[in-house]
Copies of this chain bind each other. A is one copy, B any other.
Protein backbone atom coordinates (compact mmCIF):
# COMPACT_ATOMS: atom_id res chain seq x y z
CA UNK A 1 0.00 0.00 0.00
CA UNK A 2 1.04 3.51 -0.69
CA UNK A 3 -0.15 6.82 0.65
CA UNK A 4 1.55 9.51 -1.39
CA UNK A 5 0.78 12.79 -3.08
CA UNK A 6 -0.60 10.86 -6.03
CA UNK A 7 -3.50 9.61 -3.98
CA UNK A 8 -3.77 13.01 -2.34
CA UNK A 9 -4.14 14.66 -5.72
CA UNK A 10 -6.84 12.22 -6.67
CA UNK A 11 -8.79 12.75 -3.47
CA UNK A 12 -8.38 16.50 -3.71
CA UNK A 13 -9.73 16.48 -7.25
CA UNK A 14 -12.62 14.23 -6.33
CA UNK A 15 -13.45 16.47 -3.41
CA UNK A 16 -13.40 19.48 -5.72
CA UNK A 17 -15.79 17.60 -7.98
CA UNK A 18 -18.08 16.88 -5.04
CA UNK A 19 -18.07 20.48 -3.89
CA UNK A 20 -19.21 21.66 -7.29
CA UNK A 21 -21.84 19.02 -7.73
CA UNK A 22 -25.01 20.42 -9.26
CA UNK A 23 -23.17 22.84 -11.50
CA UNK A 24 -23.16 20.35 -14.37
CA UNK A 25 -20.01 18.68 -15.63
CA UNK A 26 -16.80 20.18 -14.24
CA UNK A 27 -13.83 20.56 -16.59
CA UNK A 28 -10.42 19.35 -15.60
CA UNK A 29 -9.14 22.81 -16.47
CA UNK A 30 -11.27 24.23 -13.68
CA UNK A 31 -10.01 21.68 -11.18
CA UNK A 32 -6.45 22.18 -12.32
CA UNK A 33 -6.71 25.90 -11.71
CA UNK A 34 -8.56 25.71 -8.41
CA UNK A 35 -6.37 23.00 -6.91
CA UNK A 36 -3.07 23.91 -8.54
CA UNK A 37 -2.57 20.55 -10.21
CA UNK A 38 -1.17 20.05 -13.71
CA UNK A 39 -3.95 19.53 -16.24
CA UNK A 40 -2.24 16.64 -18.00
CA UNK A 41 -1.49 14.95 -14.74
CA UNK A 42 -5.15 15.25 -13.81
CA UNK A 43 -6.05 13.66 -17.12
CA UNK A 44 -3.99 10.64 -16.27
CA UNK A 45 -5.49 10.35 -12.83
CA UNK A 46 -9.03 10.75 -14.15
CA UNK A 47 -8.41 8.12 -16.77
CA UNK A 48 -7.97 5.66 -13.93
CA UNK A 49 -10.82 7.06 -11.91
CA UNK A 50 -13.09 6.64 -14.91
CA UNK A 51 -12.07 3.03 -15.42
CA UNK A 52 -13.20 2.36 -11.87
CA UNK A 53 -16.45 4.23 -12.53
CA UNK A 54 -15.66 6.74 -9.82
CA UNK A 55 -16.31 9.56 -12.28
CA UNK A 56 -18.42 9.92 -15.40
CA UNK A 57 -17.37 12.04 -18.34
CA UNK A 58 -19.13 14.15 -20.94
CA UNK A 59 -17.21 15.17 -24.02
CA UNK A 60 -17.41 18.29 -26.08
CA UNK A 61 -18.10 21.89 -25.14
CA UNK A 62 -19.93 22.18 -21.86
CA UNK A 63 -18.64 18.73 -21.03
CA UNK A 64 -16.46 17.65 -18.16
CA UNK A 65 -16.53 15.21 -15.28
CA UNK A 66 -19.01 14.45 -12.59
CA UNK A 67 -19.09 11.94 -9.75
CA UNK A 68 -19.88 8.41 -10.79
CA UNK A 69 -22.07 7.97 -7.71
CA UNK A 70 -23.32 10.05 -4.84
CA UNK A 71 -20.65 11.73 -2.71
CA UNK A 72 -21.81 9.60 0.20
CA UNK A 73 -21.13 6.46 -1.81
CA UNK A 74 -17.55 7.22 -2.82
CA UNK A 75 -14.89 6.53 -0.24
CA UNK A 76 -11.38 7.83 0.13
CA UNK A 77 -9.91 4.35 0.03
CA UNK A 78 -11.49 3.65 -3.34
CA UNK A 79 -10.02 6.79 -4.82
CA UNK A 80 -6.54 5.96 -3.58
CA UNK A 81 -6.80 2.38 -4.79
CA UNK A 82 -7.88 3.57 -8.22
CA UNK A 83 -4.79 5.67 -8.87
CA UNK A 84 -2.19 3.61 -6.99
CA UNK A 85 -2.29 0.59 -9.21
CA UNK A 86 -0.03 -1.82 -7.39
CA UNK A 87 -1.83 -2.25 -4.12
CA UNK A 88 0.56 -4.82 -2.79
CA UNK A 89 4.18 -4.80 -3.84
CA UNK A 90 5.43 -7.57 -1.66
CA UNK A 91 7.94 -9.88 -3.20
CA UNK A 92 5.33 -12.44 -2.35
CA UNK A 93 2.64 -10.76 -4.45
CA UNK A 94 -0.16 -12.73 -2.91
CA UNK A 95 1.63 -16.03 -3.18
CA UNK A 96 3.41 -17.42 -0.16
CA UNK A 97 6.80 -17.85 -1.74
CA UNK A 98 8.44 -14.59 -0.72
CA UNK A 99 11.50 -16.26 0.70
CA UNK A 100 12.97 -19.54 -0.51
CA UNK A 101 9.57 -20.55 -1.81
CA UNK A 102 8.16 -20.16 1.67
CA UNK A 103 6.23 -17.46 3.44
CA UNK A 104 8.32 -14.61 4.80
CA UNK A 105 8.10 -13.48 8.38
CA UNK A 106 5.77 -10.56 7.91
CA UNK A 107 3.89 -11.70 4.83
CA UNK A 108 0.41 -11.79 6.27
CA UNK A 109 1.14 -8.94 8.63
CA UNK A 110 1.49 -6.46 5.81
CA UNK A 111 -1.35 -7.61 3.65
CA UNK A 112 -3.64 -7.64 6.67
CA UNK A 113 -2.37 -4.28 7.81
CA UNK A 114 -3.02 -2.90 4.36
CA UNK A 115 -6.53 -4.27 4.46
CA UNK A 116 -7.15 -2.73 7.87
CA UNK A 117 -6.03 0.69 6.75
CA UNK A 118 -8.08 0.50 3.60
CA UNK A 119 -10.97 -0.55 5.74
CA UNK A 120 -10.58 2.64 7.67
CA UNK A 121 -10.20 4.80 4.59
CA UNK A 122 -13.20 3.11 3.05
CA UNK A 123 -15.36 4.45 5.83
CA UNK A 124 -14.62 8.09 4.98
CA UNK A 125 -16.81 9.27 2.12
CA UNK A 126 -16.42 12.40 0.08
CA UNK A 127 -19.60 13.59 1.72
CA UNK A 128 -17.94 13.22 5.13
CA UNK A 129 -15.10 15.42 3.95
CA UNK A 130 -17.46 18.02 2.56
CA UNK A 131 -19.30 18.20 5.86
CA UNK A 132 -16.20 19.39 7.62
CA UNK A 133 -15.98 23.06 8.37
CA UNK A 134 -12.39 23.69 7.28
CA UNK A 135 -12.99 22.12 3.88
CA UNK A 136 -15.93 24.38 3.24
CA UNK A 137 -13.89 27.43 4.20
CA UNK A 138 -11.12 26.58 1.80
CA UNK A 139 -13.58 25.73 -0.93
CA UNK A 140 -15.28 29.07 -0.44
CA UNK A 141 -11.98 30.89 -0.77
CA UNK A 142 -11.18 28.97 -3.93
CA UNK A 143 -14.50 29.92 -5.46
CA UNK A 144 -14.18 33.58 -4.45
CA UNK A 145 -10.48 34.39 -4.60
CA UNK A 146 -11.03 38.10 -3.90
CA UNK A 147 -12.62 38.02 -0.47
CA UNK A 148 -10.62 38.03 2.71
CA UNK A 149 -10.99 34.91 4.79
CA UNK A 150 -11.18 34.34 8.51
CA UNK A 151 -8.12 32.82 10.09
CA UNK A 152 -9.96 29.86 11.52
CA UNK A 153 -7.97 26.64 11.66
CA UNK A 154 -10.31 23.84 12.54
CA UNK A 155 -9.01 20.30 12.57
CA UNK A 156 -10.54 18.05 9.98
CA UNK A 157 -10.63 15.06 12.24
CA UNK A 158 -13.21 14.84 14.95
CA UNK A 159 -14.05 12.09 17.34
CA UNK A 160 -16.52 10.32 15.09
CA UNK A 161 -13.85 9.50 12.56
CA UNK A 162 -11.33 8.23 15.04
CA UNK A 163 -9.19 5.44 13.68
CA UNK A 164 -8.95 3.78 17.03
CA UNK A 165 -12.67 3.43 17.30
CA UNK A 166 -14.97 4.35 20.16
Residues of A within 8 A of B (CB): 1-5, 8, 11-12, 15-16, 35-36, 89-91, 96, 98-100, 102-110, 112-117, 119-121, 123, 129, 132, 134-135, 138-139, 141-142, 145, 149, 153, 155-157, 161-166
Q: In the complex, what residue of chain B is closest to A115 when comparing beta carbons?
A: B157
Bound-complex Cα distance A100 to B37 (A): 12
B3 near A2: Cβ-Cβ < 8 Å: yes
A141: chain B residues within 8 A (beta carbon): 102
The copy count of this chain in the complex is 2
Residue in chain B with minimal CB distance to A149: B102
Collect the chain B residues with CB atoms within 8 Å of residue A113's CB.
Answer: 3, 121, 157
- Nearest-Cβ distance from residue A44 to partner chain B, whole angstroms: 18
Asked if A105 and B12 sit within 8 Å, CB to CB, the answer is yes
Report the nearest B residue to A163, measured CB to CB.
B116
> How far, in Å, is A86 (CB) from chain B's closest CB?
11
Closest 6 CB pairs of A and B: A165-B165, A116-B163, A112-B157, A108-B156, A36-B99, A12-B106
